[in-house]
């Protein structure tokens, strides 16, 4: 084989290298590379995933989570309007409640992609109907709302019902517990990406409500508007916002894990 290679011109050599390389890439991409014959060839030892102590073994909070609310105080929260200390109600049972009229509150810290856990409860006293019964909401990056609503025997538009990505995506199921009992939301949010004022990657959201998958890696079209279509608004990291929609919805055990 060496002899003919020596006799080749530079151009012929280049063509040979190009075609050989192309065949190798084609073989790799189409799974035609040589099948390993021993198990070790497909076993990797790095990078080693970090050890995280799960919530069940760590007082309800994973060891690497940032605690946003543990029932002791509202130190991690400020008013969206005034940026002063949040003035919602701190309850003796380790929860906090919307103080209607005070306005939305936001986390002091800002986040990109996250796993967020929170628990929420509709008011036991049933008042109002449709969007005016136990309405609140959790906003990722302050812009994308997952609806919180008392939907038990309470009809409303499906893309605004409990667990909806508000006015963009109805949930796959209505998984609420009884009014006045605690619900859990586990949310996996991948932030949209922007470059030079343009969105280059849509955000996505997955929501598990009381253990039931209700949003399955849904692409976020834009901001969750009350009136009008979603807007694409370039932004950096943003806070978690909890909504005051005039109903004393309660929250407890809020923690968050930043995702790579
Ligand atoms: Mg809402």
pLDDT in tens, 130-162: 999 999 999 999 999 999 999 999 999 999 999
Given this model, what pLDDT does residue 1 score? 43
Q: What is the pTM of this model?
A: 0.87
Q: Which residue carries 């409640």 as its tokens?
A: 97
Closest CA to 169 of 182, 179, 160, 178: 160
User: Encoding tokens for residue 20?
Assistant: 């050989």
Classify residue 49: in a domain, yes or no.
no
Q: Which residue carries 């343009």 as its tokens?
A: 198
Classify residue 2: in a domain, yes or no.
no
Categorize the per-residue pLDDT at 20 as very low, low, confident or very high, splitting at 50, 70 and 90: low
Same domain, 77 and 105: yes
Same domain, 149 and 89: yes
Domain that holds residue 11: 7-43
CA of 134 to the centre of ligand 1 (A): 9
CA of 93 to the centre of ligand 1 (A): 24
pLDDT in tens, 217-251: 999 999 999 999 999 999 999 999 999 999 999 99
Closest CA to 157 of 242, 207, 226: 226
Identify the CATH number of the domain in which residue 104 sits.
2.60.120.560
CA of 60 to the centre of ligand 1 (A): 26
Same domain, 32 and 133: no
Same domain, 178 and 238: yes
Categorize the per-residue pLDDT at 104 as very low, low, confident or very high, splitting at 50, 70 and 90: very high
Classify residue 208: in a domain, yes or no.
yes
Same domain, 188 and 163: yes
pLDDT at 26 over 70: no
- Helix then strand then coil, in percent of the chain rounded to 5, is 15, 30, 55
CA of 200 to the centre of ligand 1 (A): 28
Distance CA 198, CA 258 (A): 24
Same domain, 60 and 16: no
CA of 28 to the centre of ligand 1 (A): 49
Categorize the per-residue pLDDT at 33 as very low, low, confident or very high, splitting at 50, 70 and 90: confident
Same domain, 222 and 254: yes
CA of 141 to the centre of ligand 1 (A): 15
User: Encoding tokens for residue 21?
Assistant: 């390389």
Same domain, 16 and 124: no
Classify residue 48: in a domain, yes or no.
no
Closest CA to 168 of 127, 238, 223: 223
Distance CA 31, CA 111 (A): 39
Same domain, 114 and 182: yes
Classify residue 1: in a domain, yes or no.
no
Categorize the per-residue pLDDT at 81 as very low, low, confident or very high, splitting at 50, 70 and 90: very high
Q: How many domains does the chain divide into? A: 2
CA of 43 to the centre of ligand 1 (A): 47
Distance CA 105, CA 84 (A): 10
DSSP code string of 40-91: GGG----SPPPP---GGGTTTS-TTPEEEE-SS--TTEEETTT-SB--SEEP
Classify residue 169: in a domain, yes or no.
yes
Same domain, 135 and 191: yes
Same domain, 87 and 212: yes
Categorize the per-residue pLDDT at 111 as very low, low, confident or very high, splitting at 50, 70 and 90: very high
Same domain, 38 and 104: no
């Amino acid at each position: 084989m060496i002899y003919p290679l020596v006799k080749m011109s530079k151009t012929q050599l280049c063509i040979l290298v190009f075609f050989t390389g192309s065949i190798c890439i084609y073989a790799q991409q189409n799974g035609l590379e040589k099948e390993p014959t021993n198990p070790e060839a497909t076993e990797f030892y790095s990078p080693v995933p970090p050890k995280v102590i799960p919530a069940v073994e760590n007082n309800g909070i994973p060891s690497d989570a940032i605690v946003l609310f543990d029932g002791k105080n509202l130190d991690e929260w400020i008013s969206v309007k005034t940026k002063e200390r949040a003035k919602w109600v701190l309850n003796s049972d380790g929860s906090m409640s919307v103080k209607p009229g005070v306005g939305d509150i936001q986390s002091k810290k800002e986040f990109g992609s996250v796993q967020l856990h929170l628990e929420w409860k509709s008011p036991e006293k049933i008042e109002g109907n449709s969007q005016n019964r136990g309405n609140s909401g959790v906003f990722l990056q302050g812009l994308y709302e997952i609806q919180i609503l008392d939907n038990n025997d309470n009809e409303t538009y499906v893309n605004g019902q409990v667990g909806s990505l508000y006015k963009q995506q109805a949930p796959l199921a209505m998984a609420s517990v009884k009014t006045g009992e605690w619900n859990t939301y586990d949310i996996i949010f991948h932030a949209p990406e922007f470059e030079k004022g343009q969105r280059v990657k849509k955000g996505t959201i997955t929501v598990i409500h009381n253990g039931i998958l209700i949003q399955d890696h849904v692409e976020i079209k834009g901001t969750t508007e009350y009136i009008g279509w979603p807007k694409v608004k370039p932004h950096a990291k943003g806070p978690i916002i909890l909504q005051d929609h005039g109903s004393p919805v309660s929250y407890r055990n809020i923690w968050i894990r930043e995702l790579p």
